[in-house]
Amino acid sequence: MPDADLTLQTGNPAHGGSVVARDDGRVVLVHYALPGETVEARPRGKRGGVAWATAERILESSPERVAAPCPHFGQCGGCQWQHARYETQLEIKRKVVEDQWSRAGLRFPPAAPVLGMADPWRYRIRGEFEAIYPAAGGFELGFHRLRSHSVLPIRTCPLHDLRIERALGAFRQAVPELGIRGLKHVELTVEPAGLGLLWRAALEGRPAAAPGELTARVAELLPDLVVLDDSLDYEFWGLRFRVRSDTFVQANYRQMQVLYQTALDQLAPTPGDAVLDLYAGIGTISLALARRAGSVTAIEENPQAVALGRLAVRINGVTNVEFRTGRVEKALREVRLGAHQVALLDPPRAGLEQAAVAELLRLGPQRIVYVSCEPSTQARDIAALVRGGYRVRRAAIVDMFPQTYHIESVVLLERTGA
């Protein structure tokens, strides 16, 4: 028999999009609630040893609560905070970061701004959708349900660019028409300033139709877009890049510019500086940095991204950016002591390997700007850098992922006693 619903009073937000409540002293993480509410919550089991639940009825509502606009909210695992006013979402993110820092023995700078979006919707230019072949026939695309492997078919997603939503409809129609079986997921990217729609699909077994046929059919269904299956144009600040589906690109194009501006302002490179850009992707930050710095050494493990970075260097006529392919923790061993004054880091969620921290401490750049999409690993790594002789100078949270629990933050560290 399922456990009976619990009446709970909710407290602080937790990382991951829930709020903390107590049931007879036992911690329960409640989704779809807000701090300061009384809710009837349905127990959903345990995750990592901690009980979690979903708010089914709001008995006493927070004044910060709003109606979630998406019809899939509450089932779809993509969004956690649509029911909170946007300003409240930003406050929640600050609290979560403060908490992560304090767990790592640090104090998040109280003056750090939280930079939100003027319009926190339709900001994603890239999305990855799970493919489903329902027993009744047809083809659907969707997202995982909250904390589940099962897939919820979706018809709308107000976080994605409208062109992506339209493309979902075109794939839903074209895939069964062509009798294509075995698609696992479809990734779609749109050109921020152009007409390009780039797609890639993961397949199980052999497809019944070549991707070319699918591209052609989707192109017929979306005559106002240019459907691409290799790469598309990505431009910002007068810099031009080519992007492929297998290379990282910031999904929130509008807010990416706020993120990069914040990172550049914190790093404040001068023409006398040689900069290390670590986890460089296709070199978007590297090329922006190169306009202000003497030179940039970009390190990235994905050879496709490095190839596109080198292509961008040629397209933009840049002469002071050098790319190196490799894992940061290994590639830094080849970097000469004293060759770089400043470093910018933008690792994936896992943060820095210990060897990368050790190499950074060996090289000892005067300033480090650490851009991160995961506050827990960033706080852990910053604590290690602080133990190694750095001091936190500035920080900012840049909301790259409105309506969701994901948090991006930028921190400036300076070497002390240099």
Ligand X SMILES: C[S@@+](CC[C@H](N)C(=O)[O-])C[C@H]1O[C@@H](n2cnc3c(N)ncnc32)[C@H](O)[C@@H]1O
The contact set with ligand X (CB under 6 A) reads: 248-250, 279-281, 284-285, 299-302, 305, 327-328, 346, 348
Cβ distance 124 to 137 under 8 Å? no
CB 301 to ligand X: min, Å:
4
Half-sphere exposure in the Cβ direction for 326 (13 Å, CA): 12
Q: Residue 227: what residue type?
A: V
CB 309 to ligand X: min, Å:
10
Residue 79 annotated to the active site? no
Task: Give the 3-state secondary structure of residue 93.
Answer: helix
Q: CB atoms < 10 A from the CB of 109, how many? A: 16
Cβ distance 397 to 113 under 8 Å? yes
Q: CB atoms < 10 A from the CB of 276, how many? A: 27
Tally of residues, the chain: 418
CB 401 to ligand X: min, Å:
13
Rounded to 5 degrees, what angle do the CA atoms 278, 359, 383 make? 85
CA-based torsion, 396, 96, 350, 82: positive or negative: negative
List the structure tokens of 145: 């349900």
CB 332 to ligand X: min, Å:
9
Q: Residue 18 or residue 247: which is nearer to ligand X going by CB?
A: 247
CB 359 to ligand X: min, Å:
11
Q: Which residue is nearest to ligand X (CB)?
A: 281
Q: Residue 37 or residue 374: which is nearer to ligand X going by CB?
A: 374
Q: Residue 38 or residue 250: which is nearer to ligand X going by CB?
A: 250
- Comparing CA positions, the residue from 274, 313, 282 lying closest to residue 299 is 282
Q: Residue 142 or residue 281: which is nearer to ligand X going by CB?
A: 281
Considering the candidates 76, 79, 157, 373, report the single residue annotated as catalytic. Answer: 373
Cβ distance 342 to 365 under 8 Å? yes
Q: Residue 128 or residue 177: which is nearer to ligand X going by CB?
A: 128
CB 248 to ligand X: min, Å:
4
Q: Residue 253 or residue 279: which is nearer to ligand X going by CB?
A: 279
Cβ distance 412 to 394 under 8 Å? yes
CB 4 to ligand X: min, Å:
43
Q: CB atoms < 10 A from the CB of 317, how many? A: 6
Residue 11 makes CB contacts below 8 A (sequence gap 6+) with: 19, 20, 21, 22, 35, 36
> Running DSSP on this structure, what letter comes out for residue 65?
B
Cβ distance 375 to 97 under 8 Å? yes
List the structure tokens of 259: 């993120």
Cβ distance 81 to 92 under 8 Å? yes
Write out the catalytic residue numbers.
373
